Amino acid sequence: MCGIVGYTGFQDAYDIVINGLRRLEYRGYDSAGIVLEDSANKFEVEKTKGKVDDLVNISKELKGRANIGMGHTRWATHGVPSDRNSHPHLSNNGKIAIVHNGIIENYDTIKTMLTEKGFTFQSETDTEVLVNLIQYFMDLNPEIDFPTAVRYALNEVYGAYAITVLHEDYPGVLVVGRLGSPLAIGIGDKEYFIASDASPFVEFTKEAIYLEEGHMATISLEQGVDIRTINDNSKIEPEIQKLKLSLEQIEKGGYEHFMLKEIFEQPKSVHDTMRGRLLVDEGVIKMAGIWDHVERFKNANRIIIIACGTSWHAGLIGEYLIEEYARIPVEVEYASEFRYRNPIITDKDVVIAISQSGETADTMAALKLAKEKGAFIYGICNVVDSSIARITDAGSYTHAGPEIGVASTKAFTAQLTILTLIAFKLGKHNGTLGNAEFMSLIAELDAIPKRIEEVLSSTHEQIQQISKDFVETTNFLYLGRGYNYPAALEGALKLKEISYIHAEGYPAAEMKHGPIALIDENMPIVIIAPKKGHYDKIVSNVQEIKARKGKIIAVVNKGDRQVSEMADYVIEIPETSECFSPIVASVPLQLLAYYIAVYRGANVDQPRNLAKSVTVE
């Protein structure tokens, strides 16, 4: 979603802001803008619908003009993507500039009040309302200073926000605030950076403050960083963190797209997820987050997994894993539905939230609800110190490294790896997974990165060829059974997200209850058919498709005969125990989606309308 970059220091603010916005492009956006405070303390603003390149085209002359400024990439919520609705927005008197990520839910009421007071609005945005509310407080109380007016205004709004604000009469001062949307402050030597995440400033400093919920900060070279609570202005001691992020991790490293890089990183990312946790020689899984609360899990009425999108698909596989090996009942819910359906939650429930970004607003809101009802909350997040990671009682990071491509790939397989570790660990503890089977499963899990490597090298070229045949296709079906039913859902989601081809995933047996009506010679069907896992049943499903002339792309184990003989395209993956097959089978499906999208000329890393972290409900 929207990205924010701010800077004050000795470097050219234009370069820092523009390069920073490029780093945040992965979040998804439809317009971009910049404001600089020039040497006469006057604002220079440029903004446009479109990409950062479009902004550069209209703003080049601002280069070298200022050492303080801020920029924004907007993902439209209130008002269509347009030049007018792009950020920054200025107050009516032109003295205050704001960039904002999030939604001001009561903007309409405030807008009505301000309109009655004579304020006018150039855009349809909630953000322009906020900046004028700040002016309103300054006009009303000439004795209060700029940060105080920002605080007053923030106390009047509800919703979610991360904001950065400049005032022409307060040269060199940046005021930032956060509630629900992330904001990091990079601490350099005689310079400060502000950004939605640390990627815009990682090459300049390794020290950062992650602003906490409900906090604001006033930042200037003279006074440093002054953090206060928004509600009562209490002073907060900044907690400076050392960044582990490296520049290399957020660059493409020779790959054409981040998505392809991230697909190829999976042998390493899955290995990193297990590092220090899976100790095969000692026959143990070390997971402090689980172990410290193992009785809570063991005695849970049930485990409720809440997540969205790809993370929800991982949750479905988690259900299969935990029920099979730990024999604890599991329910999986879309966070957005869970939150609004008055669910029954007790203090005997354990809620697992899965989120790559750790910032997804729906998941966050559902978690807060479960917490209020007394459930024990466990987080599986990729982004360290993210909002969800912070509000959970315990958790496990996936350690997949930064995922920049909007379509989740390596985070998904890392989530599956964590869920597998949790299931085996609980199973061993509960006595529902015997020692011999445990030992054999963990040895196999340890070798999964190798299996992924094999899949990447044996299928990469073949999938490029196959993909060429589907560039003009408009529909796809993905089928799988058992553990591979959610893998089919995930394969379909990947394709639709980046290629804009309509794709649906189904449990293979459900085909006869409806989707079979769609099958004819123009319908490609991706079917995941590993040896272990209802293979005979899948063979029957394939026969049914064949009889209706559907085009079959089969993902099968090496040496497979029955399904392969009927399929139009055969993609071979190594044989594994059923519980590991979604990890291995997902890799060719990611490649298939990727290459079909590339051949269709789609913007793979920043698909239209999508955002990497969905911070609005």
User: Could you tell me which residues come within 8 angstroms of residue 206 by beta carbon, excluding any fewer than 6 positions away?
Assistant: 242, 243
Instruction: Name the phi and psi angles at 2, rounded to 5.
Output: -45, 150
Q: Interface residues for ligand M6R in 430-489 (CB under 6 A)? A: none
Mark whether 612 is an active-site residue.
yes
How far, in Å, CA of 237 to CA of 228, rounded? 9
- Of 267, 598, 255, the C-alpha closest to 455 is 267
Task: Find the part of the chain contacting ligand M6R (CB under 6 A) among 106-114, 183-191, 357-365, 522-530.
Answer: 357-365
Residue 398 engages ligand M6R in binding (rule: CB under 6 A): no
Mark whether 368 is an active-site residue.
no
Nearer to ligand M6R, 363 or 499 (CB): 363
User: What is the nearest approach in angstroms of ligand M6R to the Cβ of residue 497?
Assistant: 5
Task: Find the part of the chain contacting ligand M6R (CB under 6 A) among 324-332, 401-409, 467-475, 594-602.
Answer: 401-409
Provide the greatest CA pair distance for the chain. Answer: 82
**Using an 8 Å Cβ cutoff, are 484 and 581 in contact?**
yes
User: What is the nearest approach in angstroms of ligand M6R to the Cβ of residue 412?
Assistant: 8
From residue 304 to residue 343, the character string flagging contacts with ligand M6R as x (rule: CB under 6 A) and all else as - is ----xxxx--------------------------------
User: Site for ligand M6R (CB under 6 A): which residue of 416, 614, 615, 616?
Assistant: 614
User: What is the nearest approach in angstroms of ligand M6R to the Cβ of residue 415?
Assistant: 8
Nearer to ligand M6R, 88 or 582 (CB): 582
**Both tokens of residue 307?**
């997540």
User: What is the nearest approach in angstroms of ligand M6R to the Cβ of residue 53?
Assistant: 23
**Exposed, middle or buried by CB within 10 Å (0-12, 13-18, 19+), for 251?**
middle
Q: How many residues bind ligand M6R (CB under 6 A)?
A: 16
**Exposed, middle or buried by CB within 10 Å (0-12, 13-18, 19+), for 112?**
exposed
User: What is the nearest approach in angstroms of ligand M6R to the Cβ of residue 355?
Assistant: 3
Any idea which residue has 């479009």 for tokens? 54
Q: Interface residues for ligand M6R in 68-127 (CB under 6 A)? A: none
Nearer to ligand M6R, 363 or 581 (CB): 363
Let me know how long the chain is: 617
User: What is the nearest approach in angstroms of ligand M6R to the Cβ of residue 418?
Assistant: 13
Nearer to ligand M6R, 218 or 310 (CB): 310
How far, in Å, CA of 440 to CA of 461, rounded? 33
Q: Is 36 helix (H, G, I), strand (E, B) or coil?
A: strand
Q: Is 273 helix (H, G, I), strand (E, B) or coil?
A: helix
Return the residue nearest ligand M6R (CB atom): 309
Nearer to ligand M6R, 184 or 407 (CB): 407
User: Site for ligand M6R (CB under 6 A): which residue of 262, 319, 333, 497?
Assistant: 497
Q: Is 370 helix (H, G, I), strand (E, B) or coil?
A: helix
**Both tokens of residue 173?**
């001062």
**Both tokens of residue 548?**
């209706």
Strands 89-90 and 68-74: unpaired
- Of 114, 170, 172, the C-alpha closest to 145 is 170
User: What is the nearest approach in angstroms of ligand M6R to the Cβ of residue 40?
Assistant: 43
Nearer to ligand M6R, 308 or 528 (CB): 308
Residue 181 engages ligand M6R in binding (rule: CB under 6 A): no
User: What is the nearest approach in angstroms of ligand M6R to the Cβ of residue 154?
Assistant: 26
From residue 246 to residue 285, the character string flagging contacts with ligand M6R as x (rule: CB under 6 A) and all else as - is ----------------------------------------
Cβ count within 10 A of residue 247:
10
* CA-derived radius of gyration, the chain: 26
**Exposed, middle or buried by CB within 10 Å (0-12, 13-18, 19+), for 347?**
exposed
Task: Find the part of the chain contacting ligand M6R (CB under 6 A) among 160-168, 197-205, 236-244, 351-359.
Answer: 351-359
Task: Find the part of the chain contacting ligand M6R (CB under 6 A) among 52-60, 285-293, 350-358, 517-525.
Answer: 350-358
**Using an 8 Å Cβ cutoff, are 246 and 199 in contact?**
no
User: Site for ligand M6R (CB under 6 A): which residue of 127, 363, 467, 541?
Assistant: 363
Nearer to ligand M6R, 365 or 463 (CB): 365
User: What is the nearest approach in angstroms of ligand M6R to the Cβ of residue 613?
Assistant: 5
Nearer to ligand M6R, 113 or 610 (CB): 610
Catalytic residue among 261, 425, 496, 612: 612
User: Site for ligand M6R (CB under 6 A): which residue of 356, 396, 459, 581?
Assistant: 356
Task: Find the part of the chain contacting ligand M6R (CB under 6 A) among 87-95, 108-116, 403-411, 436-444.
Answer: 403-411
Q: Interface residues for ligand M6R in 549-608 (CB under 6 A)? A: none
Strands 207-210 and 241-242: antiparallel
**Using an 8 Å Cβ cutoff, are 104 and 161 in contact?**
yes
Nearer to ligand M6R, 92 or 356 (CB): 356
What CA–CA distances, in Å, run from 146 to 165, 173, 175, 227, 403? 9, 9, 8, 14, 37
User: Site for ligand M6R (CB under 6 A): which residue of 135, 196, 336, 408?
Assistant: 408
Residue 357 engages ligand M6R in binding (rule: CB under 6 A): yes
How far, in Å, CA of 602 to CA of 41, rounded? 42
Nearer to ligand M6R, 266 or 311 (CB): 311
How far, in Å, CA of 120 to CA of 217, rounded? 28
Catalytic residue among 2, 308, 381, 579: 2
**Both tokens of residue 485?**
């039913």
- Of 205, 237, 263, 245, the C-alpha closest to 491 is 263
Angle at CA 258, nearest 5°, toward 254 and 263? 95
Binding site for ligand M6R (CB under 6 A): 308-311, 355-357, 360, 363, 406-408, 497, 610, 613-614
| Residues annotated as catalytic (active site), given as ranges | 2, 612
